[in-house]
Structure 1
Amino acid sequence: MTTEKIDVAAVEQDAAKSAMQLSTENRGKNRRSPITEPSQLPQARRVVVKVGSSSLTSVENSIDENALRSIVDALGGAKARGTDIIFVSSGAITAGLSPLGLAKRPKDLSTKQAAASVGQGLLISRYTEYFARYGVTVGQVLLTAEDLMRHSQYKNAHRQIERLLDLGILPIVNENDAVATHEIKFGDNDRIAALVAHLIKADALLLLSDVDALYTKPPKDGGERIARIDDPIADLEGVEIGSVGRVGVGSGGMVTKVQAARIAAASGIPALVTSAGNINEALAGENVGTWFSTTGGRRNVRLLWLAHLADIKGTLTLDDGAVEAIRGRRSLLAAGVNAVSGTFTAGDPVSMKDQDGNEVAHGLINYSSDEVPDMLGKRTDQLGDEFGEDFARELIHVDNLVTLRPRSARTKLK
């Protein structure tokens, strides 16, 4: 999966922490949300709501005023009932197209940045005006996925959002398209919403677009709504997941909604995927959309990134003994690796696969792709004797390794 690239130096600094430090950091964090059913959403203390571009804007009319009012009405009402709302809003690029006289979403980075710069101002102006009707003050928070991966920026983002909530402000989060230094990635706001939910320990995540639920296949072809996902592997077997939006202004499609829902669920936060038109019903706990039950507890954010968001630079093929070792929470040694591919440096994320090609883990490797081939199949003491004491250690330490369950081959991405 294509993602933002994190700062290697920061990753290496984190990777140098001892197991005791990591254990101390994570103590008490392995909790799950108290919300276990969609009917309990009205009791949620804190909810992250993400709305996609296609539900807020259009190429022809820039901002859809009626859609914005409906969403603000629902969120303003929920906040008045005592729920902390964090609103992740897409639409900045599309909102800027009409004012710039552009007939379609641009492909080049600089024009996207220009459109986002104009559109973000227009959006926040509307939100400020509409939320004021509820006596709600809004605060703008612009983030990138990278901001939520670097330790210092992660802490700053956490402090900012928590302080806004303490002051009674409704944070409006968007991906910082206007200052991106690389090509803007598909689905960033979906991923950012999942990471923000993790960041502020939300009780639930709502992912709203122009599609009312996940279906077994397109409804026009007789597909049925999937009301609940308890196991994101088994329950998605044979499902056709679309990857493009209805009107061509969004950038993620249902694929990124499912990815974001799985990220949230894996970190102890349930997620509901439905349409923006169902926002009132969703917040009221009615039976709409597709509910993703939690599949794990809160995790170290670096491992959450490594499992779901990392830009994988290479692949290691493991023997059966090494696969068993890493699944048993042990470090990966060179003796258990049969082959290597890709180009990477020390500290880069790599994929680990078994001999049948099934992905079993991601990890941060301690060596470069130039060094690893000569190390394969050798014991740690042999590496020290042959290459020096700096090589007498694991390829990937257990603290920088996360095991995976692969997506079913029968899950179809369209």
Structure 2
Amino acid sequence: MTMTTDAGRPGTAPDAVGTAQARDRASAKKPVRADRGLLRTAKRLVVKVGSSSLTSLAGGISEEALLALVDVLAERRNAGSELILVSSGAIAAGLAPLGLGRRPRDLATQQAAASVGQGLLMARYTQAFGAHGVTVSQVLLTAEDLMRRQQYANAYRALNRLLHLGVVPVVNENDTVATHEIRFGDNDRLAALVAHLVKADAMVLLSDVDAIYDRPPQAGGIRIPLVTGPADLAQANIGSSGKAGVGTGGMVTKVEAANIAAGSGIPALVTSTANAAAALAGEDVGTWFSINGSRRTPRLLWLAHLASIQGRLILDDGAVKAVRERHRSLLPAGITSVKGDFEPGDPVELADAEGQVIARGLVNFSSYELPRMLGRSTKELASSLGRQYEREVVHVDDLVVL
């Protein structure tokens, strides 16, 4: 199925989805096991597989690779777990039928390849899972489906119902109609957002690289088995696309996606497709990202990872400390400069004097109003400009620290 709707304004933060938000708050309070043994018993899992793991060097879908992956996932599904498979590969699968030797660079040809390849990919999945008695469905999403309130709610209800019916949803970007979303992160970031959407217990990112290393494995690199925060990745070796040359994400987007999940209360594992069975069994393979944050509301997740940023506010040291360490609202007195063109309610970045972005938030004033407010207290502004200026530039409830 394809999730599309025209409801809502582009870029509008999704509100809580009824009981979904209540479940968000409840799950944030529950203790979650930090070790990878959680994968053995996880009830709801999101598994993402990359293009390079599904296609051959000659192009097209590798039947052997796809069947091997499906065998592992179907066994887990038949054991009682709920699975969502986020699968790349549509564009790569469409290359050979179109007589293309490599992934096209122009958008129109990418869309054409996706249109041809998506049907082929789903046909293979339907047949392979069907051999195990498992039904699959197709769910095509773009970033906008997780940005608009109505589409977000529709996606949640549809996926949740499919899982309750015992179906394995196969999620992919809607590459045929996507524009800049076609480079959303080779589905890695989409997988993290879907994991948050469906309240997954864990996420597994599969590619042709078995783990994150401190330097290239061929140069004697050592596997990084556990990531608890940014410091653990300071010396990490992060490569590019897979050996088949058909992927776009590379390790950079996998690390980003794993951090999104871990920072939202969902542990994540990065490993190879060959390690899929061992990974789901909780064995010591790949790189495990332990939870380092709590589950966010859909609105704050949108603000942190999907919002279209319209401007930037530069903060002085005192404001940086207040926002980042004390989790306070941003006042006009702590802003030194304004960049961009925005209106009240637009998403903006908050950065320190060196330009490092520390947070994102919804601004209460336009870029036209703010310059005359900088460095002044709210009381002073109320006295000279009116009571409507006696408020925060970004309220703490509309702010997310990165």
TM-score, length-normalised on structure 1? 0.88
SS in 2 for 1:304: helix
Measure how far apart 1:227 and its partner are.
Answer: 0.6
Q: Pick from 280, 286, 301: which aligns with 2:277?
A: 280
Runs of 4+ displaced beyond 6 Å: 22-25
- Unaligned 5+ residue runs, structure 1? 1-6, 405-414
Q: Pick from 36, 39, 42: which aligns with 1:38?
A: 36
SS in 1 for 2:34: coil
> Residues 39 and 286 of structure 1 are in contact (CA less than 8 Å); yes or no, is this contact kept in structure 2?
yes
Q: Pick from 22, 47, 50: which aligns with 1:49?
A: 47
Measure how far apart 1:59 and its partner are.
Answer: 6.6
Matched letter for residue 199 of structure 2: K
> Residues 33 and 204 of structure 1 are in contact (CA less than 8 Å); yes or no, is this contact kept in structure 2?
no
Q: Pick from 323, 328, 331: which aligns with 1:326?
A: 323
Measure how far apart 1:179 and its partner are.
Answer: 1.6
1:299 corresponds to which residue?
296
Measure how far apart 1:390 and its partner are.
Answer: 4.5
SS in 1 for 2:327: coil
Q: 2:238 and 2:79 mapped to 1: Cα distance? A: 35
SS in 2 for 1:161: helix
Q: How does 1:21-100 map to 2 (within 5 A)?
A: 27-31=25-29, 34-58=32-56, 60-100=58-98
**1:315 aligned onto 2:312:** yes
**1:102 aligned onto 2:100:** yes
Q: How does 1:43-192 map to 2 (within 5 A)?
A: 43-58=41-56, 60-182=58-180, 184-192=182-190
Q: 1:85 and 1:33 mapped to 2: Cα distance? A: 22
> Residues 244 and 253 of structure 1 are in contact (CA less than 8 Å); yes or no, is this contact kept in structure 2?
yes
Q: Cα 1:103–1:223, aligned 2, differ >3 Å: closer, same or farther?
A: same
Q: Cα 1:112–1:63, aligned 2, differ >3 Å: closer, same or farther?
A: same
Measure how far apart 1:389 and its partner are.
Answer: 4.9
Q: Cα 1:149–1:29, aligned 2, differ >3 Å: closer, same or farther?
A: farther
Measure how far apart 1:130 and its partner are.
Answer: 0.7
Measure how far apart 1:302 and its partner are.
Answer: 2.2
Matched letter for residue 71 of structure 1: L
Q: 1:14 and 1:166 mapped to 2: Cα distance? A: 24
Q: Cα 1:248–1:13, aligned 2, differ >3 Å: closer, same or farther?
A: closer
Q: 2:241 and 2:319 mapped to 1: Cα distance? A: 39
Q: 2:260 and 2:181 mapped to 1: Cα distance? A: 23
1:412 corresponds to which residue?
none
SS in 2 for 1:63: coil
Superposed CA RMSD: 2.5
Measure how far apart 1:86 and its partner are.
Answer: 0.8
SS in 2 for 1:347: coil
Q: Cα 1:177–1:13, aligned 2, differ >3 Å: closer, same or farther?
A: closer
Q: Cα 1:32–1:146, aligned 2, differ >3 Å: closer, same or farther?
A: farther
Q: 1:241 and 1:332 mapped to 2: Cα distance? A: 35
Q: 2:309 and 2:13 mapped to 1: Cα distance? A: 19
1:238 corresponds to which residue?
235
> Residues 191 and 256 of structure 1 are in contact (CA less than 8 Å); yes or no, is this contact kept in structure 2?
yes
Deviations 1:290-338 (A, max 9, x none): 0000111211122123234444333222123322332323221111101
My pick for the range that moved more, 285-294 or 385-394, is 385-394
1:4 corresponds to which residue?
none
> Residues 59 and 97 of structure 1 are in contact (CA less than 8 Å); yes or no, is this contact kept in structure 2?
no
Deviations 1:93-147 (A, max 9, x none): 1111111122221122222111111111000011111111100110111112221
Q: 2:356 and 2:278 mapped to 1: Cα distance? A: 40
> Residues 333 and 376 of structure 2 are in contact (CA less than 8 Å); yes or no, is this contact kept in structure 1?
yes
Measure how far apart 1:373 and its partner are.
Answer: 2.1
1:260 corresponds to which residue?
257
> Residues 149 and 301 of structure 1 are in contact (CA less than 8 Å); yes or no, is this contact kept in structure 2?
no
**1:290 aligned onto 2:287:** yes
TM-score, length-normalised on structure 2? 0.90
> Residues 33 and 269 of structure 1 are in contact (CA less than 8 Å); yes or no, is this contact kept in structure 2?
no
Matched letter for residue 113 of structure 1: Q
Measure how far apart 1:40 and its partner are.
Answer: 3.3
- Unaligned 5+ residue runs, structure 2? 1-6
**1:205 aligned onto 2:212:** no
Q: 2:231 and 2:59 mapped to 1: Cα distance? A: 42
Q: 2:31 and 2:106 mapped to 1: Cα distance? A: 41
Deviations 1:233-255 (A, max 9, x none): 11111223223332221111001
Could you tell me the percent identity over the aligned residues?
58
My pick for the range that moved more, 365-374 or 115-124, is 365-374
Deviations 1:330-358 (A, max 9, x none): 22111110112234343332222223444
Matched letter for residue 169 of structure 2: P
SS in 2 for 1:250: coil
> Residues 59 and 103 of structure 1 are in contact (CA less than 8 Å); yes or no, is this contact kept in structure 2?
no
Matched letter for residue 187 of structure 1: G
Q: Cα 1:203–1:183, aligned 2, differ >3 Å: closer, same or farther?
A: closer
> Residues 13 and 303 of structure 2 are in contact (CA less than 8 Å); yes or no, is this contact kept in structure 1?
no
Matched letter for residue 268 of structure 2: A
**1:395 aligned onto 2:386:** no
> Residues 46 and 204 of structure 2 are in contact (CA less than 8 Å); yes or no, is this contact kept in structure 1?
yes
Matched letter for residue 132 of structure 1: G
> Residues 32 and 296 of structure 1 are in contact (CA less than 8 Å); yes or no, is this contact kept in structure 2?
no
My pick for the range that moved more, 205-214 or 215-224, is 215-224
Deviations 1:164-208 (A, max 9, x none): 111111111111111214462241511111111111111110000
